[in-house]
Structure 1
Amino acid sequence: MSAIPPWIDERIDRNLDNALTQEHVVETMLESDRPFFSIRQLHARIKPDVSRATVRNRLRELQEIDVVATETYPDSITLYYINHPESEWPLSPEGKRALNADTPLDRLSTRGFLTLSDTAGIRTLVLAGFQLSLVLFALGGVLTITGTDVGSTGSDIVLWDTAFDLLFVSLTLLIAERTVRWIRERYGPLNILPST
């Protein structure tokens, strides 16, 4: 086991009646190569006969005594890390800004799109398609009600057609993503494209 630094050792409660002690959680975090953990990741490293709720309770206790701190990121991910007083764990300010600015569409790669494996990116793309089709429906409706045309193209009809096309493509993409996810959950990963 890793030696617990004195600043942590003097703060933690050594209640041996608990199935999981604060000391064991801290030792697990210190001996790992990872600088931060989700509850699921920490639970997998500790021991299988302790519930996630127990891990969450110990982390909450450690957070109250300033041994552990948290960062919450998009997609409701909370990461726990040792709150080293002398450093900016787990990320530098530049790293924090990069993570906060990084959206699912920023992370969506061509491979992730073609294999429909990046579900967050695909769903963000589908949601954007739904919203854009709603805007096109609204604009087409306004032009139809006011009887206004932009140029001689019958712009209200063009907007309606485009909105229906975009809605169809978005629905098709959503159904394809959910079908592929269901197949992966049932039969395991599909290696359609070679990995790099």
Structure 2
Amino acid sequence: MSAIPPWIDERIERNLDNALTQEHVVETMLESDRPFFSIRQLHARIKPDVSRATVRNRLRELQEIDVVATETYPDSITLYYINYPESEWPLSPEGERALHADTPLDRLSTRGFLTLSDTAGIRTLVLAGFQLSLVLFALGGVLTISGSDITGTQSDIVLWDTAFDLLLVSLALLVVERVVRSVRDKYGPLNLFPST
């Protein structure tokens, strides 16, 4: 069974005469990967010899002591979730921290990349590649129109040339981003383009 947080443990009743206890409902909700439940979903997880009305009664009791909260949607669907005081529904505090702290690239591991199992991280890398390719195309267009060329990186293997060019453009973009950030920090936002 999942450990019940202290703020819940001190609020719930331990009435062992009930066929279904508040503690069992809370434990079932905490153990699940789901952040919220309908009564039907929660009833299916608890046990078959308890009626839906009993599940509804325990949820109502938990709602009265502010352990469980609800959201009602059209078609009379009500979803129940643990009412964590530290975060917005229906995320646990750990889930909310993970959602705000991690980007797909933060979560992408070498194994996830090599096995192509972390699709969000790989899509982020592909999107970054597309954006850098557009920057290189634009830079190439400007150099072609101006009739100039950059001869800093040359190799017999075309992929090496492209890799070096991509590395130099990425480093240049990083330097420009840092300069713009320091200017913004020092002088405030730059309103170079009028907002519509």
TM-score (norm 2): 0.46
Bigger relative contact order, structure 1 or 2 (CA pairs below 8 A, ≥6 apart): 1
Larger Rg belongs to? 2
TM-score (norm 1): 0.46
